[in-house]
Structure formats: C-alpha cells, structure tokens
Amino acid sequence: MAAVQVSEAEKVYIMHGVRDDLRLDGRGCEDYRHMEIETDVVSNTDGSAKISLGHTDVLVGVKAEIGKPKPMVPDEGYLEFFVDCSANATPEFEGRGGEELGVELSNTLYKVFNNRHSVDLRSLCICPGENCWVLYVDVLLLQCDGNLFDAISIAIKAALFNTRIPKVHISEDEEGVKEMELSDDPYDCMRLNVENVPCIVTLCKIGHRHVVDATLQEKACSVASLLISVTHRGTVTCVRKMGGGSLDPESIFEMTEAGKRVGKALHAPLMELLQKEESLGKKRQKVGFLG
C-alpha cells in the first residue's frame, strides 16, 4: 500500500518525538490508540465483530460450512480467509492496489491462524476423512488509518469467540448410509476455544527506536516493520519483516521482545471485554451495523 506523503520537516519532528518516547498524539512508543470492539454485529453470520482502532475500522464475519477435510489432515477442519479492501477506506485501495493488499493480508492471516496451535482444528472434524467444518473468515476494511494487521487480528479473535457452530447429529440407516442433521436450537451449538488464538503486533522502526500501532504518518517515516503474532502466554508464533529497509540484529531482538511484551498484555483485557459484553446478552446497547 502506498504510504502517506510527509514533508522532511514533519519527518524530523516525528522522529525526534519518537526518540523521546512522545508521539504526535501524546502516546508513548508502546501504547495503542483507543480501541472499541463490538461482537455479534452481522445477522447472517455464525460469528462477527467490528473493531475501531483510532480511525481504522475493520469488520469480520465468520460463516461455518460443512466441507471435506484436507487429505493430509483428515481429522481436522480449517479456516479460509478473504480480505476485501473497500475503495471507500482509502483511495489507495482503488483498482489493483486494494486487490494486491487483500491477497497479502489473506496469506499472512492464513499463516498466523490456520494451524492447530492457534485454533483447535480437530474440534471442527465431523467424520474423519469425510466431513469437517470450514470456517470462512471474511474481513472488510472499512476505514484505514494505519496498523491494519493488528486491528484485523483482534477482530478475528473477537469474531471467533462470538462464533457458534451448530451441533451435528449423525444417524445411520440399515444399509449403513450416514445422515447428518444440524441442530436448529441456537443453544445446541459448539463454541471455539480462542485462548491460544494469537494477536498480531506490528512494530515500525523510526530512527533508532520503534513504535507499535503506527499511524499512516508514522508509517511514512519508518524504514521497515516487524510483524509478530503473539499468544496470551507471550509465545511468538509468526514473525515477518515488511518494508524496503533493513533491520540490524539488535533492532530485531529489541522489537521482538517489545512485541512479546505488548502482545501478551493485549489478551487479558480483550478476553475480559468479550466475556463482559457476552454476559450482558440482550441488555447491552447494540449499534445496528449491516444487521
């Protein structure tokens, strides 16, 4: 995605601020912007969430469908990702720009989330080798003001927490033909254990220091970024360097340690918020969104 243009004077000002642990909006180098999360926002999905991180808005919907397991892992289900970069989010998403970014985001999300260490894929198995649940995770970028990967990962974790998969009852007739019946009781459903689902922390190198949750202006001053997915225990599950510049070994070590620290701290308040919102049930004030 093309960077926002900043003047040389703005660049120097931003870099000096980062050096002194003071950013344009008053945050420290390891602080996130204000975040708002709402779950169960799209009516025709099995789970959904919307996140606002500063002025970055992301909507995620999860749809569970019965499919065939992959031959290499016959006792597991799997996740499929599709990212739609709305041209309304930023003019840079128009045409090929949005399409290419969507593919890049989808590929990264697949690496981070579609493995048994992040999601209990075995719980998605219905009949080994025959049927499994496939979770189609649709991500819609509504507004972009930097730090897309972090916002998307948090929205995915929230949407998976909100996902309810119908229970499958299998019966066999006298000829041994299996018949599947999906429960239509909304309470007779399976929930995913999202405890190990990681969150992505993107760290941008600006001058000799690095910042988390960079705005588009800060991103324009960054030579390179390190994308780190971190579990609630602080375990790093995926690292990816982005941007044209190089990172020296010392910077990579410092950024990885910061990512682990920041990522680990994200999970507890996020889970607390999701459980609190769910416990309010119908009493919570719901903002209608594509409902």
Residue-level pLDDT at 174: 73
Cβ distance 180 to 168 under 8 Å?
A: yes
In a domain, 149, yes or no: yes
In a domain, 15, yes or no: yes
In a domain, 2, yes or no: no
Contacts of 96 (CB under 8 A, 6+ apart): none
Residue-level pLDDT at 101: 83
* Dihedral angle over CA of 261, 263, 266, 270, nearest 10: -150
In a domain, 53, yes or no: yes
Residue-level pLDDT at 91: 65
At 217, which CATH number?
3.30.230.70
* Dihedral angle over CA of 88, 92, 94, 95, nearest 10: -160
In a domain, 161, yes or no: yes
In a domain, 88, yes or no: yes
Residue-level pLDDT at 68: 96
Pick from 255, 259, 252: nearest CA to 237: 259
Alpha-carbon span 148 to 272, nearest angstrom: 23
**Judging by beta carbons within 10 Å of its beta carbon (0-12, 13-18, 19+), is residue 255 exposed, middle or buried?**
buried
In a domain, 289, yes or no: no
pLDDT along the chain (291 residues), means of 10: 74 93 93 93 94 94 96 96 80 68 90 90 94 96 92 97 91 76 80 95 95 93 94 93 91 96 94 88 54 30
Residue-level pLDDT at 44: 92
DSSP letter string, 43-78: TTSSEEEEEEETTEEEEEEEEEEEEPPPTT-TT--E
Q: How many domains does the chain have?
A: 1
In a domain, 3, yes or no: no
Residue-level pLDDT at 219: 92
Alpha-carbon span 67 to 6, nearest angstrom: 48
Measured in Å, how far apart are the chain's first and last C-alpha atoms? 30
Cβ distance 164 to 175 under 8 Å?
A: no
DSSP letter string, 181-208: EE---TTSEEE---TT--EEEEEEEETT
Domain of residue 131 covers: 8-283
Which residues, in sequence order, are bridge partners of residue 67?
132
